[in-house]
Amino acid sequence: LKILALMGVPVRVWPRAPIKMSVEKITYSLIKKKEINSLIEAINKTKRVGKREFRRQITKIDWQWQYKKLPSSKSFCYLAKDKKKIIGYFHVPVFKFRFNKKNYLIGNAQDVGILDNYRGKGIFKKLSSFVFKDLSKKIDLTYTFPNKFSIKNFIIKNKFNYVSELPIYFKPTILFKFINQKIKENEKIIKIKDINYQVQNLFDDFSSKHQLFLKRDKTFLNWRYNKSPKGKIKIVGLKRKNNLYSVIIYKKEVIFGINSIIILDFAYKDEVNNLSILLNNFSLDSTFKKKSNPQIIVIAGIFKDMNVFFRKNFFKLPSIFTPRKIVLLIKFFNKKIIKDFKKKSSWLITLGDWDIF
C-alpha cells in the first residue's frame, strides 16, 4: 500500500476492525510452564507506560532470574486469556519480610499488563480480583509501586493503602570537589565483589532499626545485585580498623541523557555519618566512555535518619519535576500486621525494593 501511494495510486486504508470477543469468556489462571515463551512474547508486545529509560524488552533469562531463581523460590504469575491467547498478565514474586521482629511473606505486585486491543473492557479489574483472592490464601501482604495510570485501580478497586511517595534526592558530582568529608588514616574505601556474612551482618543490623522491611540476607543480596541481568552492579564499603561501617550498592545509568549513579541499596552501623563519609569518597571511575563520567548521584528511600542524611548530602527533587513518582502502596491479608504500618519512620525502603532497576 505504501508503494502504491508513492506511485500516486489512490489508496484507501480501512480502519482495523475491533476484536470481537465476549469478556465473559476471558479466563484467568496461574501460568503453566509451557506458556512461559508465549507470556514473554506478550509482555514485549504490550505498550509500555513511561519513558524509554524505565522500560525495556525482556528475555527468558530476565524472566527466569526474576520469577524462578529468586531466594524464596516462590512467585506467582497470573494470566488472562482469550481462548489460548495470552492477553494479560500479573506477576507477584514473594520475599521474606520482617515486621516487629516476626517473619512474614510479602509479595511484590509488578510487571502487570493488558494487550492494547483488550484494554478498556474491565479485564484488568477481573484479573486483579482473581489475583488478590488467590494471594490472600498464600501470603501475608503485598506491596507495589504503581504508575500514574494504575494507582487509582490499586487504591479504589483493590483496596491498597497509601504509605508514602518516596522522596528523590540528587547531588551533582562536581560538588564532590568542594564538599568532601575526607577519610581518616584508619579508614579506607574498599570494593566488594562477594557479598559475605560481614556484609550481611551490616545489613541485618541496619534493617533491625526499622519495624518493616524486606529481609536482606546474603542470599537475597547476591540474587538481587550480583546475579542480576539488569546491568553491572558495583558495591563499595567503608572500613575502619578492619570493621565494616557502611556499604553502598549502585549502578550507572543514562537517564534523560544524563550520566547518573543510582544508589540502589545501602547500610551503615552506629551513626549515619558513616554513610555520608562513604558516599562522599567512593570512586566515580567510569564504566562510561571517556569524557562521559557521571554527572549526578540519585538516591531515594525511606529509612531511619533519612532527614539528617539527606539534608547534609543532597538536594531534594521537587515532586513536580519527578519523571516517575515512586509511590508505595500496601495491601494486608494477615490482619495481625496492620498496626503501625502507616508510620514512614517504621519502614526501610530503597530503590532496590523497586523492580525497575
Reading the block at residue 292, the C-alpha cell is 562521559
The answer to whether 354 touches 228, Cβ cutoff 8 Å, is no
Among positive and negative, which fits the CA dihedral 72, 230, 191, 352? negative
Q: Which residues contact 331 (CB under 8 A, 6 or more apart)?
A: 132, 141, 142, 143, 158, 159, 160, 161
The rounded radius of gyration (Å) of the Cα atoms in the chain is 23
Q: Which of 324, 323, 328 is nearest to 301 (CA)?
A: 328
For 19-55, b where at least 16 C-beta lie within 10 A, e where not — what string?
Answer: eebeeeebebeebeeebbeebbebbeebeeeeeebee
Residue 232 has a CB neighbour count (10 Å cut-off) of 9
Phi/psi region, residue 50 (left: phi>0; alpha: psi -120 to 50; beta: rest), is left
- Tell me the C-alpha distance between 351 and 262, whole Å: 8
Q: What is the pLDDT of residue 285?
A: 52
Q: What averages of pLDDT result for each successive group of 10 residues across the chain (357 residues)?
A: 40 45 87 96 76 66 96 97 95 95 95 91 94 96 92 92 91 68 82 93 95 95 94 92 94 84 95 90 58 82 89 83 87 83 76 89
* Statement: the pTM of the whole predicted model exceeds 0.85: yes
Q: Residue 224, SS3? A: helix
Residue in the structure block whose three cell numbers are 514473594: 94
> Rounded to whole angstroms, how far apart are CA atoms 15 and 11?
13
Strand partners, 255: 258
What pLDDT, on the 0 to 100 scale, is given for residue 180?
Answer: 55
Taking residue 178's Cβ as centre, other Cβ atoms within 10 Å add up to 6
Strands 110-114, 85-99: pairing is: antiparallel
Phi, psi of 354 (to 5 degrees): -100, 135
